């Protein structure tokens, strides 16, 4: 058994000191645009200071700002952008457990994130609690392990690393006892938006685990990958994790081959391999971020022509009812 260190809690202070309104964020960036916006009532503004500090002052088109700035475009409705496009609710039989992929199960440890990305499907998902730690995961993990086909548990959210060190330790300890579970995967944007979250406790929990460990980061733009993010990734690597990244293709933010090529190179520099490049899920209120499939395929062809194979992410889309993502790489000819 190992001890949790209280000194490792500074991330929670930094989280609490993040931006909670677009007005405050724009003031900080010396941008004199619109002040506040009704879209923030539906989906709150949440931006850690570390992420804001990577934005260019005075630039209303900064690619990091555009990911988090609430706008009135979110209030528009379009027939093909709907509330639950992935029909996730139907895979959600036990609250907090999503079993739609073969051999692997997702645990939704918390519905909350350190950052609220405006394009996210989370804006409509009904998480019963934003308060991690309220649930006893022991019996749930026992139940999952009754299905002998399951060999991988994916901690998801929201952002699972928003959960406390104590909760993460309990969950990982419990998973350790199920011998058929070989792999622990964590899908998180935390090392990118609040890198100090990768503290000593997380390193201890991960490095002492017998499991194969995969951390899938979520970064959309090379400007997000600061030296502090690099340091967080090194700590994860030293704790025995494989590091992958998934991005979402977003209009005006990363929908050009130049940016994506830079992103792949920077990811590699900090020890991360590109994994998925997702088309946006068609959730209500995100149509202004949408990149059409044909354009996505053209961009993909360009990055593929410029990068070694191991730096080319898989271009994928999530289709409801399918037991895996669907790759939509352009065909030859």
Ligand X SMILES: *Cc1c(COP(=O)(O)O)cnc(C)c1O
Report the 10 Å Cβ neighbour count for 255: 17
Q: Does the footprint of ligand SF4 cover residue 120 (CB under 6 A)?
A: yes
Q: Which of 118, 123, 187, 266 binds ligand X (CB under 6 A)?
A: 187
Q: Kindly tell me which of 18 and 313 has the beta carbon lying closer to ligand X.
A: 313
Q: Does the footprint of ligand X cover residue 127 (CB under 6 A)?
A: no
Q: Kindly tell me which of 115 and 145 has the beta carbon lying closer to ligand SF4.
A: 115
Residues 297 to 316: which contact ligand X by CB under 6 A?
A: none
The Cα 329–Cα 300 span in angstroms is 8
Q: Quick one: which segment of 73-81, 117-125, 282-290, 291-299 binds ligand SF4 (CB under 6 A)?
A: 117-125
DSSP labels, 186-235? EEESHHHH-GGGS-HHHHHHHHT--SEEEEEEE--SGGG--HHHHHHHHH
List CB contacts of 27: < 8 A, sequence separation 6 or more: none
Minimum CB separation of residue 145 from ligand SF4 in Å reads 26
What 3-state class would DSSP assign to 164?
coil
Q: b or e along 21-42 (b: 16 or more beta carbons within 10 Å of the residue's beta carbon)? A: bbeebbeebebeeeeebebbee
Q: Are 173 and 109 in contact (CB under 8 A)?
A: no
Residue 39 touches which member of ligand SF4, ligand X, none, C-beta under 5-8 Å by kind = none
Q: Kindly tell me which of 187 and 197 has the beta carbon lying closer to ligand X.
A: 187
Q: Quick one: which segment of 14-22, 73-81, 98-106, 299-307 binds ligand X (CB under 6 A)?
A: 98-106
Residues 193-232: x where in contact with ligand SF4 by CB under 6 A, - otherwise, as a string? -------------------------x--------------
Minimum CB separation of residue 33 from ligand X in Å reads 32
Q: Kind and range of the H or E element at 245?
A: strand 241-248
The Cα 48–Cα 245 span in angstroms is 20
Q: Which of 50, 135, 189, 284 binds ligand SF4 (CB under 6 A)?
A: 189
Q: Does the footprint of ligand SF4 cover residue 244 (CB under 6 A)?
A: no
Q: Are 313 and 246 in contact (CB under 8 A)?
A: yes
Residue 3 Ramachandran class (φ > 0 left, ψ -120 to 50 alpha, else beta): beta
Please count the residues of the chain.
Answer: 333
Q: Which of 27, 72, 324, 326 binds ligand X (CB under 6 A)?
A: 324
- Burial label for 242, CB within 10 Å (0-12, 13-18, 19+), is middle
Residue 324 touches which member of ligand X, ligand SF4, none, C-beta under 5-8 Å by kind = ligand X
Q: Does the footprint of ligand SF4 cover residue 116 (CB under 6 A)?
A: yes
Q: Kindly tell me which of 100 and 118 has the beta carbon lying closer to ligand X.
A: 100
Residue 187 touches which member of ligand SF4, ligand X, none, C-beta under 5-8 Å by kind = ligand X
Q: Does the footprint of ligand X cover residue 101 (CB under 6 A)?
A: yes
Q: Are 261 and 224 in contact (CB under 8 A)?
A: no
The Cα 103–Cα 81 span in angstroms is 30
Q: Quick one: which segment of 100-108, 197-205, 230-238, 295-303 binds ligand X (CB under 6 A)?
A: 100-108
Residues 149 to 168: which contact ligand X by CB under 6 A?
A: 154, 156
Q: Does the footprint of ligand X cover residue 91 (CB under 6 A)?
A: no
Minimum CB separation of residue 116 from ligand SF4 in Å reads 5
Q: At what angle do helices 200-207 and 227-238 cross, to 10 degrees?
A: 30
List CB contacts of 227: < 8 A, sequence separation 6 or more: none
Which residues here bind ligand X, judged by CB under 6 A?
101, 104, 106, 154, 156, 187, 324-325
Which residues here bind ligand SF4, judged by CB under 6 A?
113, 115-117, 120, 122, 159, 189, 218
């Amino acid at each position: 058994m190992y001890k949790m260190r209280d000194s490792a809690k500074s991330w929670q202070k930094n989280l609490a000191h993040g931006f909670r309104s677009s007005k405050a964020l724009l003031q900080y960036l010396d941008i004199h645009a619109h002040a506040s916006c009704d879209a923030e009532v539906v989906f709150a503004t949440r931006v850690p200071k570390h992420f804001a500090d990577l934005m260019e002052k005075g630039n209303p088109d900064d690619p990091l700002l555009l990911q988090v700035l609430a706008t009135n475009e979110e209030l528009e409705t379009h027939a093909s952008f709907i509330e639950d496009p992935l029909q996730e609710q139907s895979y959600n039989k036990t609250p907090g457990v999503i079993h739609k992929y073969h051999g692997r199960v997702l645990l939704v440890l918390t519905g909350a994130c350190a950052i609220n990305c405006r394009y996210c499907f989370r804006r409509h998902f009904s998480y019963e609690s934003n308060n991690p730690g309220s649930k006893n995961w022991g019996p749930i993990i026992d139940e999952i392990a009754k299905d002998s086909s399951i060999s991988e548990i994916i901690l998801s959210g929201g952002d699972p690393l928003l959960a406390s060190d104590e909760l993460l330790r309990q969950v990982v300890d419990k998973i350790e006892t199920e011998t058929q579970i070989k792999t622990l995967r964590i899908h998180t944007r935390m090392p990118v938006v609040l890198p100090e979250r990768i503290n000593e406790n997380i390193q201890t929990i991960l490095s002492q685990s017998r499991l194969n460990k995969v951390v899938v980061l979520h970064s959309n733009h090379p400007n997000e990958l600061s030296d502090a993010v690099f340091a967080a990734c090194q700590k994860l690597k030293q704790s025995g994790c494989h590091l992958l990244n998934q991005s979402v293709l977003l209009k005006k933010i990363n929908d050009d081959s130049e940016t994506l090529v830079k992103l792949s190179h920077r990811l590699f520099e900090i020890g991360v391999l590109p994994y998925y490049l997702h088309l946006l899920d068609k959730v209500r209120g995100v149509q202004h971020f949408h990149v059409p499939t044909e354009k996505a395929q053209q961009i993909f062809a360009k990055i593929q022509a410029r990068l070694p194979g191991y730096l080319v992410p898989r271009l994928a889309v999530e289709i409801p009812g399918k037991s895996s993502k669907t790759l939509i790489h352009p065909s030859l000819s």
